[in-house]
Amino acid sequence: MSQNPYITLLIVGITFVGIAIGRYPIIRSNRTTIALMGVALLVVTQQIQFDQLSAYLDFNTLILLFSMMILNANLKFSGFFTLASKTLIRFSKTPRVFLAVEIVLVGFLSALFLNDTICLMFTPLILSLMDRLKRNPIPYLIALATASNVGSVATLTGNPQNMIVGVASGLSYLEFAMALTPIAMLGLGVIWLVLIKTYSFEFKQPFELISGMEAETAPSKPTLIKTSLIILGMLIAMLLGAPVALAAFLAANALLITRRYQPHLVFAEFDWSLLVFFAALFVVSGSLETSGAMNLLFDPKVWVDRIQVWNLSLISGVLSNLVSNVPAVLLLKPIVLVMTDARLGWLTLAASSTLAGNLTLLGSVANLIVAESAARWRVNLSFWEYTKSGMLITLITLVISIAWLTWVV
């Protein structure tokens, strides 16, 4: 059986629908297994060749993601997140100040490191603090999820879709950050204002932090200093123009040289399914181009003069909430490549796909991490409760992004 674009399109469509829903009925599955099933179907139907699978993989992005996981594991072992949580507590005097410090801290850390990791680390902290204070945790959980997404807009290492854009576009770390950091900063302010208005009763009631609320685990100073210096060196290298994936890979390897932790402890912190998910997505998305199926979806000649910041943002926002932001970026890459100003297109795609992740609870992995972690504490962050604030945050931040990229960048 030879390549048939219609068969490829059908298989890819079924795969992305499954990814959007998060599972297939009857069988036990998740987004990673669904993506792998899609690859298997493409191989069985000979839409792609098994011995050519490696040609579809974007190794720079996979290496960057792999390296950031090593960095995050070392940050956890060093006690960095313990210090971050103490900072959140120390500077909070009122609920409004607490919310502001939380948003800024989470946004800043998400810009430097993977936003999903920040949500994993901070959700238990927020829940524990709110439990001790006898407060409603919902607005603070929404702030955590949305701030991690908005903050991650600022850099190439903030989230997986930015990594893909960075590798595909060739944009430097500094150029990307200078273009999108203002959007992230304004977006963090939007989160604070929306939540203050939406949960006005919660933030009118004062609270006093009680003693013993600081994180109990003491940081390892030698490991913290070593990790901080290596990450600082990595960021400087990126700012000076070093390839982002290479800088992260070398930094990760430097952190693996240690006498304190067994290697298996570091690798135990990895989200291996995320790496597999990405690899499978590269194959599934790449098959659209090699089979000619992409030409059935759009004519590049038609898009050259029609695609602009506002409609690319709209398409990206809708698609990101249908199939998630990472698949959306992979699907929209060919459109950006035909734009007259590809640089502006890449920046628009990165910003809009990330900001759109705040629309609903299903919009990004970070949102789901917060909701699922909260459920273990018997706190129900429901779809509609989240969407009530998330929709407004998304619309305002997308307008800011479109205006900034249209008239300033």
Q: Which DSSP string do the residues of 205-268 spell out, in sequence order?
A: S---PPTT-S-SSPP-HHHHHHHHHHHHHHHHHHHTT--HHHHHHHHHHHHH--SSS-HHHHHT
Dist. CA 185–CA 310, nearest whole Å: 20
| Cβ neighbours, 10 Å, residue 368 | 18
Instruction: Answer for the pair 332, 367: CB distance below 8 angstroms, yes or no.
Output: no
Instruction: Inform me whether the pLDDT recorded for 397 exceeds 80.
Output: yes
Q: Looking at residue 113, what DSSP letter applies?
A: S
pLDDT at 84: 77
Instruction: Answer for the pair 295, 8: CB distance below 8 angstroms, yes or no.
Output: no
pLDDT per residue as tens digits for the range 283-305: 998 888 788 777 676 665 666 67
Mean pLDDT (the chain, rounded): 87
For residue 195, what are its two tokens?
């939540």
Task: Note the pTM of the prediction, 2 decimals.
Answer: 0.80
Higher pLDDT, 195 or 264: 195
> What percent helix, strand, coil does the chain show, rounded to 5?
75, 0, 25
SS3 at position 194? helix
What secondary structure does DSSP assign to 282-316, as a single string? HHHHHHHHHTTTHHHH--HHHHHHH--HHHHHHHH
Of 238, 103, 51, the closest CA to residue 163 belongs to 238
